[in-house]
Amino acid sequence: MPLDFESIYAAGKFTDLRIPRPRRAKYDFAVAYADPGSLPHADIVESLEEALTEYGSELAIYTHLQGNTKLREYLVERLLNNRDINVTVDDIILGNGSAETIDMICDILLDPNDVVLTDQWVYGGTLKTLKKKFVDIRGIESDEEGMIPELLEYEIKKAIDQDNKPKLLYLIPTFQNPQGFTITLARRKEILKITNKYGIPILEDDCYADNRYEGNQVTSFFNLDSEDSVIYVGSFSKIIGPGMALGYMTAPSTVLDKIMGVKRGRISDFTAMAVERYANKFLDTHIVKINHIQKMRRDAMVSALGENFGTSAKWSNPDGGLYIWVEFPKGTDVQALVIKSLDQINAGFHPGTDYSPDPSKGHNFMRLCYGYNDTEDISVGISKLAEFLSKEEII
């Protein structure tokens, strides 16, 4: 008789989750992928060989539990130069993408039913992670400057009145996924004033900060905060490629201590060595190159939307990042069309429901990613998508 594992699992709540890789389309506007043609294979291999020659014997030993030290040294400099973040090598922990770091942060902070504040539309990966913790996720509306401070304070007070003070405010302040806005400096200060007043930490997910191709950089929440209340995560997925699965975090010291208590296993030093040397030699130039490509693709998609989507839909036009957020008329439902679109026109998109803490919302929204396809495929794909949506009476 097979052993009955169900009777011996730990008491905590779990989500069973073994799912196939998502189906991919020719016009792949769904998952946030990078441009495959810009992957710097040759430079990365060259960098790896250089790193192996210099300190490759270290592959015979167990790396630092927080991850490759040279890469963390590089990040110390990068964070200071680009995000005004002043930390030491001991303050940085590498992760399997930013996903691992966000999951660990949730694990040390959140119990089931805790209140977590997010944007009204939230990055789907973090949303899944939060749902796996069975927390009470409350989305807050934003305008073009970011989350609206009055609504933030209202939600905090409401939760406190319910004797359930929010445990965390999760933000992607720069090129918010999926909406695309960047929170202005003034708005960042207003938000911080409120979270500091109530003693609520911010999780700043900054994985798109380098993907800016217009406008000026806004400094990080981590820099603006004077009360050690911001936990910061970043990633190489959007500036090298998701396949490196390399992210990082920094936070107040007590948080880092706790994080290392829940961290499982080490990050590949083989990947970290390649990325360390590549980043030191090539990354800044590479970012200029991919931002140029992404800008062209954004322009192609915005222009294709203008030509094909008519006046019943509205969409964002972001200064960076990888996404356009499309709103269709109230009452329409694009979630129901995901598979049909793959089948009929070979085009993929994410429905707004993937980004909504409230499962009843988001049916009339769509996220389009312009990172993967070239401008020609973007034009053709958006035109096909428009025709398809029109036939389905969405637009």
Query: Shortest distance, CB of residue 138 to a copy of itself, whole angstroms?
Result: 17
Binders of a copy of itself among residues 37 to 96 (CB under 8 A) are 37, 39, 41, 44-45, 48-49, 52, 56-66, 90, 95-96
Which residues pair with residue 48 across a beta bridge?
Answer: none
Binders of a copy of itself among residues 110 to 169 (CB under 8 A) are 110-111, 114, 132, 167
Q: Does 107 bind a copy of itself (CB under 8 A)?
A: yes
Q: Does 302 bind a copy of itself (CB under 8 A)?
A: no
Q: Does 294 bind a copy of itself (CB under 8 A)?
A: no
C-alpha distances in Å from residue 283, one per residue of 78, 249, 272, 316: 11, 19, 14, 28
Record the tokens describing residue 238, joined without a space: 């959007």
The closest alpha carbon to 205, from 70, 95, 299, belongs to 95
**Dihedral, CA atoms, 193, 259, 127, 17, nearest 10 degrees?**
-170
C-alpha distances in Å from residue 230, one per residue of 171, 251, 255: 11, 7, 10
Distance, CA of 118 to CA of 48 (rounded, Å): 39
- Select 96 or 335, whichever has its Cβ closest to a copy of itself: 96
Q: Does 266 bind a copy of itself (CB under 8 A)?
A: yes
Backbone angles phi, psi at 360, to 5 degrees: -85, -5
Query: Shortest distance, CB of residue 339 to a copy of itself, whole angstroms?
Result: 20
Alpha helices (runs of H) in the chain, residue ranges in sequence order? 41-55, 69-83, 97-109, 124-132, 149-161, 185-198, 221-224, 253-262, 269-308, 338-345, 375-391
The single residue among 271, 316, 353, 373 that binds a copy of itself, judged by CB under 8 A, is 271
How many of the chain's residues bind a copy of itself (CB under 8 A)?
94
Q: Does 264 bind a copy of itself (CB under 8 A)?
A: yes
The single residue among 10, 163, 330, 359 that binds a copy of itself, judged by CB under 8 A, is 10
Contact flags string 196-215 toward a copy of itself, x per CB under 8 A:
x--x-x--------------
Which range binds a copy of itself by CB under 8 A, 146-154, 223-231, 315-323, 387-395? 223-231
